[in-house]
Structure 1
Amino acid sequence: MFGPRNNRTARLALAGAVTLGLVGGLAACSSGGDSGSTASADNPVEITFQSWVPNIDQAVDAFNASHDDVKVTLETVTAGPDGGYAKMLSAVQAGNPADVAQLGYDAIPDFLVNDALEDITDYVGDSSDLFVPWQWNTGVFNDKVYAVPQASGPLGQFYRKDIFDSLGIAYPTTWDEYYQAAKTIHASDPNKYITAFAFNQAPWLIGLSQQGGANWFSTSDDAWNVTIDDESTLKVADFWQKLIDEGLVKIEADFSSEWNADIQNGNVATWISGSWADAILRGTAPDTAGKWAVGAMPQWQAGEDVSATWAGGSASAVLKGSKHPKEAAEFALWLNSDPESVNILTNVGAGWPAIADTSEITSLQSDPEVFSFYGGQDIWDVFAASDAAVDTSWKWPPLSSTLFSSLTDNVKSAVEGGTPLTDAYTKTQDDMVAALKAKGISVN
């Protein structure tokens, strides 16, 4: 789709033999632009930044206000493979890309496979200590740096504490307790459900499996191991199948109009999501302020402390062909490590900061608007613990867009057709293996 088929296949065939198990032998991405240009206040370097994060223009404005020699222009794009990513890759192929792009951690392998990222090691390679190691490593392949991490999406459970309290439900610390809470909530009112089963959200489905102990992708002998229908995943699928069969969850797409209404009126009492969901919840249901709280993910075994993420997180990468890779990389580093910028990003709901030291992020220390919405709770304590409990061995494969679309389609078909969810994961396993092989990627 992007780039000559023969060259792309040659790169893909080397999959599995690199740091974090991406693609071995990727050609070193030398800087494609004039990194030695002289910039000044009278002649600033102009770079373009593509992002889908709402209100991230506030951070861009802060950068421009504090830098005379570089001017950043924000271009808002649609999130996801069919929106911004397709536009970015097409521009790289055409030779006129933006300079810096917002990429999910899951998408970085796809962009590398398409030879669409600059190697920015010379510009930011000595900055790893600023970031949480597992997040920094999402952009490192073959000891080369291709992206600067921005934020992760550690999972937590947003829940209507007033509903739980009125029904005498203690916060569910295990999935068994979650099941009992689901029965109590639905028995109290046939229109109320503990949550919506979001068949439209592959990141949510993947996060639930990851939290259940699944690890779908690994490498050995220069090839990928794909285990989407492993025992841990099927355990999670069976659990949600039980909730669906007993009518204890509402089958609806999250972020839909119906879902928004159910969040507002309390017919959906919980939402398992990433830390960034706080901003969405406050914006969607402002009239419910003071009624919500946040808790840790229920555990499969009492006493455990296992969490996961919503699609990992996102990063800033310099697109291949940028005319100013040095300045672009320096902006990416500032955006995701400067305390002023990180504070802005946290406020606008970009996610849990990737930087290791969050002591200077004032919005994490005291945020009256956020805390009052959750009845005075400091919700960031929950997400700090969740981020620390994420299984950092999870690997994102090439063709993550294929994974997302296949999983969503198969789960939706299972729900609509009344077939077992376990079959949906087995079908996704088959789809993913076939897709990797079709692109010349070795699979064990």
Structure 2
Amino acid sequence: MFGNHFSGRRSALAASVIIVLAGGLTACSGSGGDTAPAAQEGPVDITFQSWVPNIDQAVDAYNASQDDVNVTLETITAGPDGGYAKMLSAVQAGNPADVAQLGYDAIPDFLVNDALEDITEYVGDQEDKFVPWQWETGVFNDSVYAVPQASGPLGQFYRKDIFDSLGITYPKTWDEYYEAAKKIRASDPNRYITAFAFNQAPWLIGLSQQGGGKWFAAENDAWTVTINDDETLKVAEFWQKMIDEDLVKIEADFSSEWNADIQNGNVTSWISGSWADAILRGTAPDTAGQWAVGAMPQWEDGGDVSATWAGGSASAVLKGSDHPKEAAEFAAWLNSDPESVSILTSVGAGWPAIADTGSIASLQDDPEVFAFYGGQDIWDVFSESDKNVDTTWKWPPLSSTLFASLSDNVKTAVESGTPLTDAYDKTQDDVSTALKDKGIAVN
């Protein structure tokens, strides 16, 4: 997409990303202080690109608090669906937006493409405000390249009214989930426990991560790729059984068919990130009061392992911004100011990256959200889920290639009737080859 060969600068950055990940992400010790340029005089206009619905509410709150800075929101498609390509093309053309929303998975990719500003001198002293693992997703070689916004800890949204009517106790293990799926399928010829979302690589990856898969490691200046490890194949075989026994509906989530199935109860649960609350409320408002949220089913009875939907997302300053200082300061405010974070949580941006969630009003009392879930405080579930995420998971460069390859290979397996395990074998080969083709060493 952006050329078949790296320049010397990009090769150096690729090596830097490998070295830093091999040794662990290291947080910064503080801001640059005296090295920061003088503040811009007069009004400064900066552009912010994001795909989060209703994030304009937080942008408006920021603009209302400022006299000398104005942020213009530019809505783009979700990163892997085209937004990232637009961002990188603009950087190459020399006319980027100032601040961009990036998934944690995409930050290494943007670094390899030399597309991010080092904002250490502007926000390096903000570290203590954030959950350590989320802060560290934007830190490489002691330099800050992004301010974390939110993670996507997984939970299961489910139609409690249907589960209760069928006498189904919430499944705490995957074995219990399988038994629940059989009861739900037998109750109605059109009803399934969930949709098998072959189109969603982040969903597939989250399931593997929760099952113990560890796909990437950086060792000895090279990447080790194990997409088809034993833990992942165990997960794939479970879902293969669900498909073979017609216990899940094969359909793309967010499709019109899926929306209808969520509305009419033909799909009775959805494993997704905390931000999915806003999507459910918007998609199926007539089902208010019928839903609840539970923790991820476990592979071992009594376990508490969780995962994320593609990690989460951050605000980064794109290379070539005319106002990196103001852009970085806006990114920090957006993701740490209590009013802003409360708005972000309510509109479905994800689980806050800030450490002090006690200051977030919408997490303490959100009548609209809680009423939709029958009075349940769903944030208790996601608070625990976020604590139980395996934070050793690493994202490699070329995450867009990973996402495209995995979803394509899984879709092909489902349509052709070949084993899902073959899809992970094929993705292993695809990603290893893509990294090598970009000049990145693979063990």
Tell whether the 8 Å contact from 1:275 to 1:351 is kept in structure 2 after alignment: yes
- Counterparts of 2:223 and 2:61 in 1: how far apart (Å)? 43
1:228 aligned partner, one-letter code: I
- Counterparts of 2:64 and 2:388 in 1: how far apart (Å)? 37
Q: Secondary structure at the match of 1:184?
A: helix
Question: Paired residue for 2:29?
Answer: none
Residues 52 and 15 of structure 1: CA distance in aligned 2, closer, same or farther (over 3 Å): same
Which runs of structure 2 are paired with 1:321-336 in the superposition (5 Å)?
A: 321-336=320-335
- Counterparts of 2:404 and 2:274 in 1: how far apart (Å)? 24
Question: Paired residue for 2:353?
Answer: 354
In the alignment, is residue 250 of structure 1 matched against residue 249 of structure 2? yes
Residues 430 and 323 of structure 1: CA distance in aligned 2, closer, same or farther (over 3 Å): same
Question: Paired residue for 1:259?
Answer: 258
- Counterparts of 1:344 and 1:408 in 2: how far apart (Å)? 32
Which runs of structure 2 are paired with 1:280-299 in the superposition (5 Å)?
A: 280-299=279-298
Question: Paired residue for 1:38?
Answer: 40
**Structure 1 gap ranges (5+):** 25-29
Which runs of structure 2 are paired with 1:206-285 in the superposition (5 Å)?
A: 206-285=205-284
Question: Paired residue for 2:28?
Answer: none
Q: Secondary structure at the match of 2:296?
A: coil
Question: Paired residue for 1:19?
Answer: 20
2:11 aligned partner, one-letter code: A
**Structure 2 gap ranges (5+):** 26-31
Question: Paired residue for 2:432?
Answer: 433
Q: Secondary structure at the match of 1:18?
A: helix
For residues 15-63 of structure 1, give each alpha carbon's deviation from its aligned partner in whole angstroms, at most 9, with x where no partner exists. 6643334999xxxxx9xxx942433xxx211111111111111111111
For residues 318-369 of structure 1, give each alpha carbon's deviation from its aligned partner in whole angstroms, at most 9, with x where no partner exists. 0001111111100000000000100110111100000000111111001111
Question: Paired residue for 2:151?
Answer: 152
- Counterparts of 2:24 and 2:442 in 1: how far apart (Å)? 12
Per-residue deviation, 1:109 = 0.7
Tell whether the 8 Å contact from 2:150 to 2:352 is kept in structure 1 after alignment: yes
Q: Secondary structure at the match of 1:427?
A: helix
- Counterparts of 1:9 and 1:83 in 2: how far apart (Å)? 22
- Counterparts of 1:123 and 1:409 in 2: how far apart (Å)? 41
Q: Secondary structure at the match of 1:359?
A: helix
Which runs of structure 2 are paired with 1:23-422 in the superposition (5 Å)?
A: 35-39=37-41, 43-422=42-421
Structural RMSD (CA):
1.7
Question: Paired residue for 1:27?
Answer: none
Per-residue deviation, 1:291 = 0.5
Residues 22 and 95 of structure 1: CA distance in aligned 2, closer, same or farther (over 3 Å): farther
Per-residue deviation, 1:69 = 1.4
Per-residue deviation, 1:82 = 4.4
Per-residue deviation, 1:14 = 1.9
Deviating more after overlay: 75-84 vs 152-161: 75-84
1:7 aligned partner, one-letter code: G
- Counterparts of 2:214 and 2:13 in 1: how far apart (Å)? 22
- Counterparts of 1:185 and 1:385 in 2: how far apart (Å)? 27
Tell whether the 8 Å contact from 2:149 to 2:314 is kept in structure 1 after alignment: yes
- Counterparts of 2:149 and 2:215 in 1: how far apart (Å)? 24
Residues 38 and 53 of structure 1: CA distance in aligned 2, closer, same or farther (over 3 Å): same
Q: Secondary structure at the match of 1:443?
A: coil
Tell whether the 8 Å contact from 2:16 to 2:141 is kept in structure 1 after alignment: no
Q: Secondary structure at the match of 2:345?
A: helix
- Counterparts of 1:23 and 1:431 in 2: how far apart (Å)? 26
Tell whether the 8 Å contact from 1:275 to 1:383 is kept in structure 2 after alignment: yes
Residues 35 and 93 of structure 1: CA distance in aligned 2, closer, same or farther (over 3 Å): farther
Q: Secondary structure at the match of 1:190?
A: coil
TM-score scaled by length of structure 2: 0.95
Per-residue deviation, 1:126 = 1.1
2:19 aligned partner, one-letter code: V
Tell whether the 8 Å contact from 1:172 to 1:298 is kept in structure 2 after alignment: yes
- Counterparts of 1:159 and 1:82 in 2: how far apart (Å)? 27
Tell whether the 8 Å contact from 2:211 to 2:231 is kept in structure 1 after alignment: yes
Per-residue deviation, 1:2 = 3.8
For residues 406-426 of structure 1, give each alpha carbon's deviation from its aligned partner in whole angstroms, at most 9, with x where no partner exists. 000000000000000000000
For residues 384-403 of structure 1, give each alpha carbon's deviation from its aligned partner in whole angstroms, at most 9, with x where no partner exists. 00000000000000000000
Tell whether the 8 Å contact from 1:140 to 1:146 is kept in structure 2 after alignment: yes
- Counterparts of 1:38 and 1:122 in 2: how far apart (Å)? 15
Tell whether the 8 Å contact from 2:153 to 2:308 is kept in structure 1 after alignment: yes
Question: Structure 1 segments of 4 or more deviating over 3 A?
Answer: 1-6, 21-24
Residues 390 and 220 of structure 1: CA distance in aligned 2, closer, same or farther (over 3 Å): same
Per-residue deviation, 1:293 = 0.3
Per-residue deviation, 1:73 = 0.8
1:19 aligned partner, one-letter code: V
2:232 aligned partner, one-letter code: T
1:146 aligned partner, one-letter code: Y
Residues 256 and 426 of structure 1: CA distance in aligned 2, closer, same or farther (over 3 Å): same
Tell whether the 8 Å contact from 1:15 to 1:442 is kept in structure 2 after alignment: no
- Counterparts of 2:293 and 2:157 in 1: how far apart (Å)? 4
TM-score scaled by length of structure 1: 0.95
Per-residue deviation, 1:9 = 5.6
- Counterparts of 2:20 and 2:70 in 1: how far apart (Å)? 34
2:234 aligned partner, one-letter code: K
Q: Secondary structure at the match of 1:242?
A: helix
Tell whether the 8 Å contact from 1:22 to 1:141 is kept in structure 2 after alignment: no
